[in-house]
Amino acid sequence: MAISCGPDSKKETSGTEVQIVGAMKNVMWKGELAGTIQLDTIASKKGLYGLGPVEYLTGELLIIDGQSYVSTVLSDSTMEVKETYDIKAPFFVYANVEHWKEYNLPDSIQNLHQLEQFIDYQSKTNIRPFAFKLKGRIKEAKIHIQNLPKGTKVSSPEEAHQGQTNYLLQNEEVEIVGFFSTEHKGVFTHHDSFLHMHLITTNRSQMGHLDEVIFGDKKMKLYLPER
């Protein structure tokens, strides 16, 4: 079941409410690896953005403006990215956003911690949680794809990340989709972050969970939902 974390009935709704299915902590600590949502059951694909892992932690998922991508590990240096909605996730967060406000990311914002602080500051009057996106050239980024061996039992984050494969990107044109919340640690963000982000290259050849980034001196655009 999808849980709306948007405004209540007394507030003006904007159509950008975040929907949450399942929870990261149930996957990591309780081993609930099976899919709780089939992505093709999400009714509205218009302006749809979402992210999560593939069921049984065998890949990463990203929906960007209605297009759904799945990445899986081929080797420690290669991956496969394909477009499909025929896939399930054990937890997933998504929202429909059609209207964005564009910001120039300041040159002083160079890593994820600084990005988190900047988004927090810029969104004080936004309805939370919310989706956001970035577009531009990164200097360097580290992404990962979950690749849990078949049949593995999970009862801790350490066990859940067995088989995780990391990839280093350099000087790539990318799009990043993220979700921001100060209230959903362990649900769709990790315990030490207000952000959960997936990155995809503009040529759609590489995609995964974003762990680290150096934005460099190239201009990045940040997009927040219009209030």
* pLDDT tens digits for range 109-140: 999 999 999 999 998 888 889 999 999 999 99
Residues 166-184, mean pLDDT to the nearest whole number: 91
Tell me if residue 28 falls in helix, strand or coil: helix
- CATH architecture of the domain with residue range 100-225: 2-Layer Sandwich (3.30)
- Bridge partners for 68 per DSSP: 63
Q: What is the C-alpha separation between 71 and 206, in angstroms, rounded?
A: 8
The domain made up of 3-96 is a member of CATH 3.30.1330.80: yes
Is a pLDDT exceeding 50 seen at residue 149? yes
Q: Do domains 3-96 and 100-225 have the same CATH topology?
A: yes
User: How high does pLDDT run on average in the chain?
Assistant: 88
Per-residue model confidence (pLDDT) at position 14: 41
* Confidence label for 185 from pLDDT (cuts 50, 70 and 90): low
The tally of CA atoms less than 13 A away on the side-chain side of residue 96 is 10
Per-residue model confidence (pLDDT) at position 29: 87
Q: What is the C-alpha separation between 1 and 18, in angstroms, rounded?
A: 13
Q: What is the C-alpha separation between 10 and 6, in angstroms, rounded?
A: 11
pTM above 0.85, yes or no: yes
- Would you kindly state where each structural domain of the chain is located, as residue ranges? 3-96, 100-225
